[in-house]
Amino acid sequence: MQTKIRQLIRTISGIESSDGDGVKLTRVIGSHELPLLDPFLMLDAFRSDNANDYIGGFPSHPHRGFEAVTYLLAGRLRHKDSEGHEGVIEPGGVQWMTAGSGIVHSEMPEQKNGLLHGFQLWINLPAEDKFTPPRYQEFSSDDIVLDESDNRTIRVIAGKTDQNIAGTVQAEFVQPMLFDVSLSQGQAFRQAVSEFDNTFIYVIEGELAFTNPVGALQANQLGIVVEGNVVEVMAKDDVRFLFASAQPLNEPIARGGPFVMTTQQQLQQAFRDYAR
């Protein structure tokens, strides 16, 4: 197959927002700036060392019809749910929650001061899997598979790298690639993707350069890359970024708050079920 390098076509900084009990965050996917990047429904970035920005946390709330991925870089979050699960997400840890048919859970800071930094990514479930039983996959930093080839570091959360190193999470529904990539100045990252995938890069620190066409992504920016089967970027300085890619579902979406269904009838039923 002929190699075609994907192009950076759009850069998004996100919208300052709040959620839960007043937690300040930046909504990068899921706002009017970028409502959807199918199958990615939402990407929230949160980073603050001011406890007033996060101490209220995310008290008990319901979900149905999608998967929520919480990836923490600094701080601690305690989660509890209606199925009796409880645990603490620590720095470098990942919680991959398949809400499926429905769950009520909370995520509350396990700290009264210091830096809280991380992300939450919502990934849609196919219509046929909306009512799959809810479940968790939760991993500490030490559990995350590393690809350290070519003197770079890729924390492989889900999917496979070009070196055929598979991620820690068993993502059986949409099967995305989700990597946390660290490069030194001048190093390149190259990853094959399906030509049908929707793909984004979110820069956590540093600056990335694109050559096709010439462009750059700064820290706290998301870039959408399209039309090709390979993503190729270079670090302009020491850089860290999230890389995500998945085939779109191309299915109807009926969305209301914490529920993401396929039809309006299913959405209305989700609200009725939660109200019982």
Task: For residue 258, give the nearest of 20, 45, 17 by alpha carbon.
Answer: 20
CB atoms inside a 10 Å sphere around CB 48 = 17
Q: Measuring CA to CA, how many Å separate 169 from each of 23, 86, 156, 215?
A: 27, 19, 9, 32
Q: Using CB atoms within 10 A of its CB, is residue 112 exposed (0-12), middle (13-18) or buried (19+)?
A: exposed
- What pLDDT was estimated at residue 108? 93
User: What is the number of domains present in the chain?
Assistant: 1
Residues of the chain where predicted confidence (pLDDT) is lower than 70: 213, 276
With respect to residue 204, please indicate whether it lies within any of the assigned structural domains.
yes
Q: CA-to-CA distance for 181 and 189, rounded, in angstroms?
A: 8
With respect to residue 1, please indicate whether it lies within any of the assigned structural domains.
no
pTM above 0.85, yes or no: yes
Residue ranges in the chain assigned as alpha helix (H): 264-275
- List Cβ neighbours of 84 (8 Å cut-off, separation of 6 or more): none
With respect to residue 232, please indicate whether it lies within any of the assigned structural domains.
yes
Q: CA-to-CA distance for 118 and 73, rounded, in angstroms?
A: 5
Asked if 97 contacts 49 with a C-beta cutoff of 8 angstroms, the reply is: no
Question: Which amino acid makes up residue 257?
Answer: G
Query: Mind listing the pLDDT tens digit for each residue in 100-152?
Result: 999 998 999 998 899 999 999 999 999 999 999 999 899 999 999 999 988 78
- What pLDDT was estimated at residue 25? 96
Q: CA-to-CA distance for 190 and 248, rounded, in angstroms?
A: 21
Q: CA-to-CA distance for 28 and 133, rounded, in angstroms?
A: 29
- What pLDDT was estimated at residue 85? 81
The upper half-sphere exposure of residue 218, i.e. CA atoms within 13 Å in the direction of its Cβ, equals: 3
Greatest CA separation found in the chain?
A: 57
Asked if 182 contacts 153 with a C-beta cutoff of 8 angstroms, the reply is: yes
Q: CA-to-CA distance for 71 and 38, rounded, in angstroms?
A: 20
The upper half-sphere exposure of residue 236, i.e. CA atoms within 13 Å in the direction of its Cβ, equals: 14
Q: Using CB atoms within 10 A of its CB, is residue 217 exposed (0-12), middle (13-18) or buried (19+)?
A: buried
Asked if 205 contacts 181 with a C-beta cutoff of 8 angstroms, the reply is: no
Question: Which amino acid makes up residue 155?
Answer: R
Do the bridges between strand 116-124 and strand 66-74 make them parallel or antiparallel, or are there none, so unpaired? antiparallel
Q: CA-to-CA distance for 138 and 129, rounded, in angstroms?
A: 21
- What pLDDT was estimated at residue 154? 97
- What pLDDT was estimated at residue 182? 97
Length in residues, the chain: 276
With respect to residue 42, please indicate whether it lies within any of the assigned structural domains.
yes
With respect to residue 2, please indicate whether it lies within any of the assigned structural domains.
no
The CATH number linked to 73 is 2.60.120.10
Domain that holds residue 245: 7-275
- What pLDDT was estimated at residue 276? 67
